[in-house]
A = this chain, B = another copy of it.
């Protein structure tokens, strides 16, 4: 490690694939990463574990640990590994066994996760946004009220307003501190409501974001989602934040202006997903950064390295 290397303390807020992509890129530039992860997932395997064992949904947390690891491929394989022998543990992935062991050793799931970076070769740490068992409640554009993250993401209606039940659950230890004492905060990419705004609903998060003096960077999704952000333009994304926070807090917005390969775009169209339309040129108090950020792969994702380079440049410029 070179002396005087610029390795800023970055706090990221999100969940899902978007957050993994971001962490995968940022870990190459700084070891001082804190990922605040949404824990409102109630579908799939995470939802099952949540129901059966009463633990926080570990899916996104596990994915973040993998994304932060020094050898991501190997860690991913290890976390997915299942023992072939019969027995009660054989159905579980090694990743879940690992988190279970860490929880048992440290006395709680969150402490287990917090201590994880001490035993695994990962750059940074992962914090669940809250330790409370909460569910999301969304008022949709068609007037319906839907409960539970998996139902929200499955409904084919835009979200109008998101709430947590019970409301304002306490933030997990260190979460608010991670927002207050870093060199920059990155929100997104990720599902606007169920991965990003959900994190803002924990107690103390909005005031902390409002008062934080360091760059607050929003990375807008490249594509809309068929449900919660159906046909959303950039202005709609920003309006959603404003609605839930009360004011615009972003000092930077990073948007993609690169084009999606036709074949890929067609596939997304069939799922009613389109590139987020950039319908505004300026946003008061905020610098909009336009870049080609598309990773040329099977899925439309941000290119981890291109995205990280822009974030690092912003933080470096703000350090001066």
Q: Quick check: is A270 within 8 A (CB to CB) of the other chain?
A: no
A residues adjacent to B (C-beta < 8 A) = 1-3, 69-71, 74-75, 77-78, 81, 83, 85-90, 94, 97-98, 100-102, 104-105, 115, 117-122
Given A78-B102, A101-B94: A118 touches B119 (CB 8 Å cut-off): no
The 8 Å CB contact of A85, one of B3, B86, B89, B102, is: B89
> In whole angstroms, how far apart are the Cα atoms of A86 and B86 in the complex?
11
The 8 Å CB contact of A117, one of B101, B115, B121, is: B121
CB contacts (< 8 Å) of A115 on chain B: these are 71, 74
Q: Judging by beta carbons under 8 Å apart, are B2 and A71 in contact?
A: no
The 8 Å CB contact of A3, one of B2, B81, B102, is: B2
Shortest beta-carbon distance from A122 to chain B in Å? 8
14 contacts between A and B (CB under 8 A): A3-B3, A70-B119, A74-B118, A75-B119, A77-B105, A83-B89, A83-B101, A85-B89, A87-B90, A88-B89, A88-B90, A94-B97, A119-B120, A121-B121
The 8 Å CB contact of A89, one of B74, B78, B87, B119, is: B87
CB contacts (< 8 Å) of A105 on chain B: these are 74, 77-78, 81
Shortest beta-carbon distance from A105 to chain B in Å? 5
> In whole angstroms, how far apart are the Cα atoms of A70 and B121 in the complex?
10
A100 closest partner in B (C-beta): B83
> In whole angstroms, how far apart are the Cα atoms of A2 and B5 in the complex?
11
Q: Judging by beta carbons under 8 Å apart, are A101 and B78 in contact?
A: yes
Shortest beta-carbon distance from A109 to chain B in Å? 15
Q: Judging by beta carbons under 8 Å apart, are B86 and A101 in contact?
A: no
A82 closest partner in B (C-beta): B101
A75 closest partner in B (C-beta): B119
> In whole angstroms, how far apart are the Cα atoms of A74 and B119 in the complex?
7
> In whole angstroms, how far apart are the Cα atoms of A118 and B85 in the complex?
26
> In whole angstroms, how far apart are the Cα atoms of A66 and B275 in the complex?
49
CB contacts (< 8 Å) of A122 on chain B: these are 121
- Apart from A83-B97, A97-B97, 19 more pairs, CB < 8 Å: A1-B1, A2-B3, A70-B119, A74-B105, A74-B118, A74-B119, A77-B105, A78-B119, A81-B101, A83-B89, A83-B100, A83-B101, A85-B89, A86-B88, A87-B87, A89-B90, A94-B97, A94-B101, A117-B121
> In whole angstroms, how far apart are the Cα atoms of A121 and B68 in the complex?
13
CB contacts (< 8 Å) of A2 on chain B: these are 3
The 8 Å CB contact of A118, one of B70, B98, B104, is: B70
CB contacts (< 8 Å) of A69 on chain B: these are 119
> In whole angstroms, how far apart are the Cα atoms of A90 and B69 in the complex?
27
CB contacts (< 8 Å) of A97 on chain B: these are 83, 94, 97
Given A83-B89, A89-B85, A89-B87: A120 touches B118 (CB 8 Å cut-off): no
CB contacts (< 8 Å) of A98 on chain B: these are 94
Give the 5 A-B residue pairs with the shortest CB-CB distance, closest first.
A87-B87, A87-B88, A3-B3, A71-B118, A89-B89
